[in-house]
Structure formats: C-alpha cells, structure tokens
C-alpha cells in the first residue's frame, strides 16, 4: 500500500507544483505542458524505492485542479470492460496467440506432460496439463510445467509479449460437467448450458441463465436463449455448466 500511495502522490505531483526533490523527474519546464502521455511514461520508469528513500510529504504539494479527462461516454458505456486491453482482446486465432500456444505445448511435452488445453482471457493465459495416461499431475509436476512454460516464453517476449501482458496459470483437468477449457467450449457448441453470472454492483448477488452455447471469445460467452443471442462478458461469468444428462 505504501508503494501504491507513493506512485499516486508522485504522479499527482506532475500536474501540480512539485516540491524541489521531485522537480528533477518532470521533463517539462512548465507544468501546464505536462501531458497524460508524459505522466504514463514517467510512471512506467519511476523508481519507487528511490522515491520512498527521499520521502514524500503531501503537505508540500500545492493543490491544483487536474485536467479534464477526454472520454467518449458512448464508447465507454458500450464496453463491458474498463481500460486498455493492449491487444489481449485479439481474436483467439491471432498469429501471436497461435505461436505462443505452440511454444507452450512444446515446453510442456519436453518435461513429459501433455497440454490438454490453451485458454486465453484478457490478462490471463491458462494451460491445462495432464499425464500421458490421462491422469492429473501432482502439484510438483504442475509447478514444473509452469516453470517450463515461462522459461520457454521469456526469450520471445519482446515480440509476442505474452508474459508482459498475461499471468500464466497451469492447472489440471477439472470436474466433467464444468466447461472450463477452450477445447470444451468448442466441443459443446449447440449444447444446453447453465451460466452462473456475477453482479458487478452487488458482489453477493448471482443470476443463472440457461440456453444453448454458441461460442466463447477472449472477452465473452454467447448463448442462445430462446432464439435471442445473449452476450455475457467473461469477467462476469462465474461458471458454465452442462446439465447432468450431458456431462457423461
């Protein structure tokens, strides 16, 4: 928390009259010339530990109104997500995803396991691994697979930018009636499913939607509810489950 407060206070200082020890970080001579891009660039390169050594006294900073943010309200309201995806919402067939997936599969195969599924969502790459006999690997083997994947992706991260934009999760196959892998979403297209959704406003409130599975993209699950296509943002999906009769 202390590091987060330090970054926020230091970023604010770029829009206001900075104390003497922070002036060296401002690349403009006049604070009115500091743009949002300048702030973003500075925050990405700021040495937080160095800032904490010098200390930041918020009382030294003169209060000043921040510039108005230019946001297209219609575009903002139409998007189910907030923020910049930085390409992580690209289609599942994007070339960089295909190449990264192959690197992951080869790295997992090199330690004697199989990659059962590659699952993408904004900011997360989830890999499902299993043994050659179909059994689930133990915790140590799963950890080995995770290390192998990261080691294989690191040399290519300057161009593929998988690790720079995603957390890597390595798991073993889950319950049979839950649809948790991309392969399962493809296999069960057209099947009846039950989607448990989360309410972003009331955290404890849930809703269940029943329909036929149409597709799953990096950002949404689409189901057919009595002829009407319903698109559910992925970050609001609690689980997608097959009816018991279809889970065998």
The tens place of each residue's pLDDT in the chain, 248 residues long, gives 555 555 555 555 444 444 444 444 444 444 556 676 777 777 777 676 666 666 666 566 666 666 665 656 565 555 555 556 788 888 999 999 999 999 999 999 999 999 999 999 888 999 999 999 988 888 889 989 999 999 999 999 999 999 999 999 998 887 678 898 898 999 889 999 999 998 766 656 788 999 999 999 999 999 999 999 999 998 899 999 988 653 33
Q: What is the DSSP string of 86-150?
A: TTTTS-TT-HHHHHHHHHHHHHHHTTT-EEEEEEEETTEEEEEEE-TTSPPP-HHHHHHHHHHHH
Tell me the pTM.
0.57
Task: Go through the domains of the chain in sequence order and give each one's CATH number.
Answer: 2-60 (no CATH), 95-171 (3.30.300), 182-246 (2.30.30.100)
């Amino acid at each position: 928390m202390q590091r987060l407060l330090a970054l926020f206070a230091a970023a604010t200082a770029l829009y206001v009259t900075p104390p003497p020890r922070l002036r060296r970080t401002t690349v403009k001579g006049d604070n009115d010339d500091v743009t949002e891009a300048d702030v973003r660039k500075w925050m990405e390169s700021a040495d937080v530990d160095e800032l904490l050594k010098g200390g930041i006294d918020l009382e030294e900073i003169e209060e000043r109104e921040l510039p108005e943010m230019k946001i297209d309200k219609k575009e903002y309201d139409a998007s189910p997500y907030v923020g910049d995806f930085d390409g992580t919402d690209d289609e599942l067939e994007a070339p960089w995803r295909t190449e990264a997936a192959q690197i992951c599969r080869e790295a997992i195969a090199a330690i004697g396991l199989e990659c059962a599924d590659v699952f993408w969502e904004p900011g997360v790459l989830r890999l499902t691994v299993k043994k050659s006999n179909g059994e689930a690997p133990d915790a140590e083997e799963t950890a080995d697979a995770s290390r192998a994947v990261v080691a294989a992706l690191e040399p290519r991260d300057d161009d593929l930018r998988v690790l720079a934009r995603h957390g890597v999760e390595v798991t073993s196959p889950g319950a049979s009636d839950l649809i948790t892998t991309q392969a399962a979403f493809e296999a069960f297209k057209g099947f009846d499913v039950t989607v448990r959704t989360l309410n972003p406003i009331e955290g404890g409130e849930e809703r269940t939607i029943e329909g036929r599975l149409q597709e799953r993209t990096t950002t949404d699950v689409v189901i057919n509810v009595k002829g009407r296509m319903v698109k559910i943002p992925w970050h609001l999906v609690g689980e997608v489950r097959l009816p018991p009769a279809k889970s065998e």
